Amino acid sequence: MPELKVYRHLPPRTLLIWRIVQALFWLIGVVILSCLLFFPALGIMLFWNILIPVAPALLVVSTGLWRNVCPLATTNLLPRRFGLSKKKKLTPKQSGVFSLIAIVALYVIVPLRHAVFNTNGPATAVLIITMVLAGGILGFFYEWKSAWCSGLCPIHPVEKLYGGNILTSLPNAHCSECANCMVPCPDSTPNIRPEASKKNLWFRMSGFLTTGGLPGFIWGWFHVPDNRFTGSLHELFMTYEIPFFALLVSLTIYGLLLANTEQKYEPKLSGFFAAAGVSCYYSYRIPALFGFGNLGADGLLIDLKGKFPEWGINLIIVATTTFFFYWLLVRTRNKNSWLIRPAFVKKTATVRNKLPV
C-alpha cells in the first residue's frame, strides 16, 4: 500500500501564501470573464488561446496546483468555507452518475467550441458563469469538492486522465479538514486514474469513456473548422461527426486492448492513452497557435509563418510528444497524490481537544 500522507493543519504562513495565490488567480479569472463579455476578441485570445492551451501540460505536471488555484473551485467552495454548506455526502451511486455526466458533458460541450464558443466571447462567458452557478449551488448542499470539483465538473475527467503521475504532492489549500467526502478522493489518492473506482457501473463507464475515448475525440476535434452556427441541424451534425466517430474508434481500440491486458498492466495502458491524448492535443494546438495550423487561422495566437521555420514547429512537436510519453508511460509511477490529504475531521477534533487553550 502506498504511504498515506496526512497533514494536521497547514502552517498559517503556508496557508496565507496559498490564499494570496488563489486570490490572484481568482482576479485573473474575473478579468478574463470581463474581457469575454466586454472585449470579446481579447477575452477569446486570453481564454481559448492562452489559458486553455497551457492547461493540459499543467495537469500532466502538477494537477494539484490547478486544483488549488482554479478560480471556479475557489468560488464554488465559498459556501463550504463560510459554513453555509449542508455538508451532505453523495452516495457511491450518485458519485458514479456525476462522474459519468461529467465526461458526457465534456464530449457534448467541447465540439460546440467550433460552432459557438471559439468565436463568441459573451457565449463563452455565459458557459463559464453557468458552470460557476452550478458549482456554487452544489457547494451549498454537498461537502467540499465531492459534487463539483470531483464530480460534475467537465474538466475533472481530463484531470484524472492526465494527472496519473504528477511531479510532487502539494498541500491541499481548499479542504481545511478531510471529511472523507469522496472515496477514493481524487486529490488524495496516489497515481489516480479514471478507472481507479470500479465501485459501480457508472464509475466503470465513466472511466472507460474517459481513457478510451479522449485520444480519438481530441484527434477528431482538430479536424473540424470553426464555423459560426446559424441554426442548421446539418451544421450541428458536422460539428460532432468526426470527433464522435474518432471517439468510437479510439474506444474500440482501447476496449480490445483492455480485454487482452493483465490487470497489473492496466495503469500502463491508461498511461499510454493519456500520453496519446495530450501529445495529439499539442501536435495540433502548437502549430495552430503560431500560424502553421491545418485549419487556417483557427485558434491562432501569433502568426509566425514565414518568420519561424516549419521544421522548428515539428521539432517542438517531437519534443512535447517524447516528453509526454516518457512522463506518463515510461517513468516509474511515483505514488504521489495531487494534494496531501488534510487531517480527518475526527482526528483533528481529538488533537484540538488536547491542545492548551
Q: Binding segment for ligand SF4 among 118-126, 133-141, 172-180, 302-310 (CB under 6 A)? A: 172-180
- From residue 111 to residue 150, the character string flagging contacts with ligand SF4 as x (rule: CB under 6 A) and all else as - is ---------------------------------xxx---x
Alpha helix (H) residue ranges in the chain: 12-38, 40-46, 52-69, 71-76, 78-81, 92-109, 112-115, 121-141, 156-162, 201-221, 233-259, 266-289, 310-325, 345-354
Q: Which of 72, 77, 181, 329 binds ligand SF4 (CB under 6 A)?
A: 181
Cα 254 from Cα 268, distance rounded (Å): 12
β-pairing, 170-171 with 339-342?
Answer: parallel
* Residue 201: other Cβ atoms inside 10 A: 12
> Vertex 59, ends 185 and 224: CA angle to 5°?
115
Q: Which of 90, 182, 224, 280 binds ligand SF4 (CB under 6 A)?
A: 182
Q: Binding segment for ligand SF4 among 29-37, 103-111, 170-178, 317-325 (CB under 6 A)? A: 170-178
158 versus 181: smaller Cβ distance to ligand SF4 = 181
Q: Which of 114, 160, 285, 341 binds ligand SF4 (CB under 6 A)?
A: 341
Q: Binding segment for ligand SF4 among 44-52, 154-162, 173-181, 275-283 (CB under 6 A)? A: 173-181
114 versus 156: smaller Cβ distance to ligand SF4 = 156
Could you tell me the smallest distance in angstroms from the CB atom of residue 143 to ligand SF4?
Answer: 6
Binding flag, residue 185, ligand SF4 (CB under 6 A): yes
Q: Binding segment for ligand SF4 among 109-117, 125-133, 184-192, 245-253 (CB under 6 A)? A: 184-192
Cα 8 from Cα 177, distance rounded (Å): 8
Binding flag, residue 178, ligand SF4 (CB under 6 A): yes
64 versus 71: smaller Cβ distance to ligand SF4 = 64
Binding flag, residue 172, ligand SF4 (CB under 6 A): yes
Name 354's Cβ contacts closer than 8 Å, sequence gap at least 6.
none
Binding flag, residue 193, ligand SF4 (CB under 6 A): no
Q: Which of 103, 110, 147, 175 binds ligand SF4 (CB under 6 A)?
A: 175
| Residue 72 near residue 20 (C-beta atoms within 8 A) | no
Distance set, CA 299 to CA 195, 215, 327 (Å)? 32, 19, 27
Reading across the β-sheet that carries 6-7, which strands appear in turn?
6-7, 339-342, 170-171
Q: How many CA atoms lie within 13 A of 104 on its CB side?
A: 10
Residues in the interface with ligand SF4 (CB under 6 A) total 15
β-pairing, 170-171 with 6-7?
Answer: unpaired
Cα 229 from Cα 181, distance rounded (Å): 41
Could you tell me the smallest distance in angstroms from the CB atom of residue 205 to ligand SF4?
Answer: 22
Binding flag, residue 179, ligand SF4 (CB under 6 A): yes
Interface residues with ligand SF4 (CB under 6 A) are: 144-146, 150, 172, 175, 178-182, 185, 187-188, 341
